[in-house]
Amino acid sequence: MSAGPSAPARRRPTAAMRGTETSLGLTRRARRMARELGEAFPEVWCELDFTNPLELSVATILSAQCTDARVNMVTPALFARYRTAADYAGADPEELEQLIHSTGFYRNKARSIQGLGAALVERFDGEVPRRMKDLISLPGFGRKTANVVLGNAFDTPGLTVDTHFQRLTRRWGWTEETDPVKIEHAVAELLPRKTWTDTSHRIIWFGRRVCHSRKPACGACFLARQCPSAGEAGSMDPVAAAKLVSGDSREHLLALAGLDADGAPLEADAAEADAAGGDIR
């Protein structure tokens, strides 16, 4: 008779789990997790389609309460119709609203985009500025949007604190803050500045593919050993958890957790588990 799926391996308690982690320990753990995210997602990019800073600014405004995939369906026609800040400033409101309708909250977004165009024309010669203090003075811009533009259009490091970033950094115990600006500053103290943009992308990608809001794939997560929420936020059953992992790199992500595509232990990891009495997570 064949054996059923193995029980989820036990995890050794970490200092973070015991509540005794020092500031230095937290910094080391955060950087170790960031490096492992780099192994999982070696090549990352902004998942909004754009060719210049103005297009990215508009796309990021549209992405509020909307998926990047939906925004990318809307922007080809939008960018073909409006090519400059002056074009947006002079747009017919009803036409603009119609083009962006499917992204939701289209009236507010249309006002922000028109206001952005007008402000760029009036104050910045129609060009998107490169400084945070200038960007956050523009309609439709907060620090999150500004960091997206700085990091991806101007190669200026920035942390993009979206809902995925907020959820994961709290689950990982990197911060207890709930305000996005305070989260940004807290995480910035943990990571080297040059890594901020790519680490932001990796955290967001990880949140979309593994550490979901309602059902995180804890039992199939390569970061579970270092996560104080593993097993609390989601099930540690590897077979059930493996089904929750998504995306083109699914098999790679599962392999990093020592699992095959069905959630069964890979041969080397199974042997290690036997040698360690099942205590490898």
- Torsion angle of the four alpha carbons 117, 122, 124, 125, in this order, in degrees rounded to the nearest 10: 90
Query: Judging by beta carbons within 10 Å of its beta carbon (0-12, 13-18, 19+), is residue 176 exposed, middle or buried?
Result: exposed
Q: How many other C-beta atoms can be found within 10 angstroms of the C-beta atom of residue 4? A: 7
Q: How far apart are CA 59 and CA 127, in angstroms?
A: 16
Phi, psi for residue 163 in degrees, rounded to 5? -65, -35
Does 162 participate in catalysis according to the annotation? yes
- DSSP of 194-252, one letter per residue? GGHHHHHHHHHHHHHHTS-SSS--GGG-TTGGG-TTTTTSS---HHHHHTT--STTHHH
Q: Residues 87, 134, 162, 260: which is the catalytic one?
A: 162
Distance, in Å, from the CA atom of 31 to the CA atom of 18, rounded to the nearest integer, reads: 19
How far, CA to CA in Å, does 254 sit from each of 42, 263, 276? 15, 8, 21
User: Which are the contacts of 64, defined by CB distance < 8 A and separation ≥ 6?
Assistant: 105, 109
Q: Are 218 and 234 in contact (CB under 8 A)?
A: yes
Calculate the alpha carbon distances from 20 to 15, 144, 238, 263 in Å.
5, 32, 28, 32
Task: Specify the 3-state DSSP secondary structure of 67.
Answer: coil
For the question of residue 109 being annotated catalytic, the response is no
d(CA 124, CA 120): 5
- Point out the catalytic residue in the list 109, 144, 198, 237: 144
Catalytic residues: 144, 162
